[in-house]
Amino acid sequence: MIKDILQQFNITAKHSGVSTGAHWLSGTGSVLSSVSPVDGQHIADVQSPGRDEFDAVVAAAGQAFHEWRQWPAPKRGEVVRQIGEALRTHKTALGKLVSYEMGKSLQEGYGEVQEMIDICDFAVGLSRQLYGLSMHSERPGHRMYEQWHPLGITGIISAFNFPVAVWSWNSMLAWVCGNVCIWKPSEKTPVTALVCQHIVQSVFAANQVPEGVCCLVAGGREVGEWLANDTRIPLISATGSTRMGKAVSSAVGARLGRALLELGGNNAIIISESADLDMALIGCVFGAVGTAGQRCTSTRRLIIHESVYDAFTQKLVNAYKQLRIGNPLDENNHVGPLIDKDAVSLYQASLQQVTAQGGHFLVEGGVLDGAGFESGCYVKPAIAAVQNHYNIVQHETFAPLLYVMKYKNLQEAIDMQNGVPQGLSSAIMTLNLREAEHFLSAAGSDCGIANVNIGTSGAEIGGAFGGEKETGGGRESGSDAWKNYMRRQTNTINYSNRLPLAQGISFDL
């Protein structure tokens, strides 16, 4: 099945990971070996760029920008509409491949492609709505307005957990805005990126889009560093760990470029005494074990009112007993593998730290072995009772490890929810209007995303996505996140026959 999908997209056992959107370049950099965490099978080798090919790609992108920025935005939107159509056609194949290369459940693989289709639709509409404001000038016979122009090359560094959707949030918006894109996908999931590149290339060819508008540089850390340091690239949009984000941010900041960062989360749900506990349960369990806890929006902490703590943790423990762990392509399973053995080691180290720092397990974790688990990447989702201040709780463990803790009053719960270095997603489960509104107020959650009676993960594309503090401050996807991909220009036009100065200054010659 996977072989057929690879054939369908012309993915050979050894494939170039370097493209200008019209041509595949033979890479001279290191080889990325893509291995499925589902069954440990090798998928393909992807050749990354050497410095010369990287420079050739940036040059092609720079050249293409001169032409692409002059296409009317709705015409660019029409091309993006066709990408959305192509994604609809290939949803099943690409969804399966996402599931196989990354390890998320098939439903989530399809969901990820749906997210790409949704952002295409959003971007098409946006291509006729890149609005600027007009202002009233203080001077007679003057007009003032602002307009938004494209920035140039957008460098996109994406993570393994959403191997294709996060690229599409960035590239579809960047393209309708008139930018050209260079994508460095995660070195752990290069094959799904190759498929996206093939899909876009055929749409672009059919529309005579100039070479260089959609570029791919599949590579490791070094390629990320080249992008971050390159003064020809005004905007770097990076998704990944806080450590990576700090490195990108300082490199881009040192050259006064723009960085759009979407980094780690440490997302909590407050379970109030007035929560609908059955409804809350679904949000909490999906949030904690969906994508095997490898979303940046995954639920890491539950802050539970003391009066419902025993009842709710009992429900959680029972629900965890029902979880089926196994091959994510089998739709009977809820939880697939972690991305690789390094991730498994980090998960195991976190389990040890929980006990060492004073926590105890309500549901024990562990690594699965035996038939069906040969890849060594399958782990048991765990639940631990902890204190919020434990060092391990303050860190994001990218695995299905859920922390539970008790609170007495809402202020204490909000302080705990905010009392971590990260600030991405947050939620409260309550039927009490006062609590809900307080949680959403300026004195409530400090996160970029705050939900009521919905879990922390699974945001729709229509809202701006991102968070505060160590999450990096960037906003991608919906609302007015498109402004990150453009430069604002303020224009003042004098149509009078005098030249009055602003602020009433007189300057007579």
Q: How far is CA 128 from CA 73, 176, 374, 393, in A?
A: 7, 9, 51, 45
Q: Check binding of 186 to ligand UN1 (CB under 6 A).
A: no
Which residue lies nearer to ligand UN1 by CB, 169 or 373? Answer: 169
Interface residues for ligand UN1 in 98-137 (CB under 6 A)? 115
Q: Angle 277-289/306-322 helices, nearest 10 degrees?
A: 50
Burial class from Cβ neighbours inside 10 Å (0-12, 13-18, 19+) for residue 466 reads buried
Q: Check binding of 379 to ligand UN1 (CB under 6 A).
A: no
Q: Check binding of 163 to ligand UN1 (CB under 6 A).
A: no
Which residue lies nearer to ligand UN1 by CB, 150 or 466? Answer: 466
How would you label 445-456 residue by residue, b for 16+ Cβ within 10 Å and e otherwise? bbbbbbbeebbb
Helical residues (DSSP H) of 32-105, grouped into ranges: 51-68, 73-89, 91-102
CA 455 – CA 293 distance, rounded (Å): 13
Binder among 19, 36, 161, 417 for ligand UN1 (CB under 6 A): 161
Distance in Å, CB of 150 to ligand UN1, minimum = 25
Which residue lies nearer to ligand UN1 by CB, 49 or 328? Answer: 328
Interface residues for ligand UN1 in 278-307 (CB under 6 A)? 295-297
Which residue lies nearer to ligand UN1 by CB, 73 or 98? Answer: 98
CA 79 – CA 213 distance, rounded (Å): 12
Q: Which residues pair with 153 in a beta bridge?
A: 180
Q: Which stretch binds ligand UN1 (CB under 6 A): 159-167, 228-236, 275-283, 415-423?
A: 159-167
Q: Check binding of 239 to ligand UN1 (CB under 6 A).
A: yes
Interface residues for ligand UN1 in 205-234 (CB under 6 A)? none
Q: Check binding of 327 to ligand UN1 (CB under 6 A).
A: no
Pairing mode of beta strands 468-469, 422-423: antiparallel
Query: Quick check: is 262 catalytic?
Result: yes
Helical residues (DSSP H) of 230-378, grouped into ranges: 242-254, 277-289, 306-322, 341-356
Q: Which stretch binds ligand UN1 (CB under 6 A): 13-21, 22-30, 246-254, 456-464?
A: 456-464
CA 151 – CA 173 distance, rounded (Å): 12
Which residue lies nearer to ligand UN1 by CB, 271 or 296? Answer: 296
Pairing mode of beta strands 18-19, 24-25: antiparallel
Nearest C-alpha neighbor of 354 from the set 318, 384, 377, 326: 384
Q: Check binding of 170 to ligand UN1 (CB under 6 A).
A: no
Binder among 99, 242, 457, 484 for ligand UN1 (CB under 6 A): 457
Q: Which residues pair with 42 in a beta bridge?
A: 35
Binder among 100, 110, 122, 162 for ligand UN1 (CB under 6 A): 162
Tokens (6 digits) for 227: 């992008």
Distance in Å, CB of 161 to ligand UN1, minimum = 5
CA 440 – CA 44 distance, rounded (Å): 47
- Contacts with ligand UN1 by CB under 6 A: the residue count is 11
Q: Which residues pair with 429 in a beta bridge?
A: 271
Q: Check binding of 158 to ligand UN1 (CB under 6 A).
A: no
Nearest C-alpha neighbor of 195 from the set 4, 33, 9: 9
Q: What's the count of helices (H) and strands (E) in the chain, helices before strands?
A: 15, 26
Binder among 120, 263, 459, 486 for ligand UN1 (CB under 6 A): 459
Catalytic residue among 262, 396, 435, 470: 262
Which residue lies nearer to ligand UN1 by CB, 63 or 114? Answer: 114
Q: Angle 91-102/106-126 helices, nearest 10 degrees?
A: 120
Binder among 365, 458, 472, 474 for ligand UN1 (CB under 6 A): 458
Tokens (6 digits) for 201: 């290339």
Which residue lies nearer to ligand UN1 by CB, 64 or 236? Answer: 236
Residues across the chain: 509
Q: Check binding of 398 to ligand UN1 (CB under 6 A).
A: no
Q: Which residues pair with 32 in a beta bridge?
A: 46
Which residue lies nearer to ligand UN1 by CB, 114 or 202? Answer: 114
Q: Check binding of 95 to ligand UN1 (CB under 6 A).
A: no
Name the closest residue to ligand UN1 (Cβ): 459
Distance in Å, CB of 420 to ligand UN1, minimum = 17
Catalytic residues: 262
Under the rule (CB under 6 A), what is the footprint of ligand UN1?
A: 115, 161-162, 166, 239, 295-297, 457-459
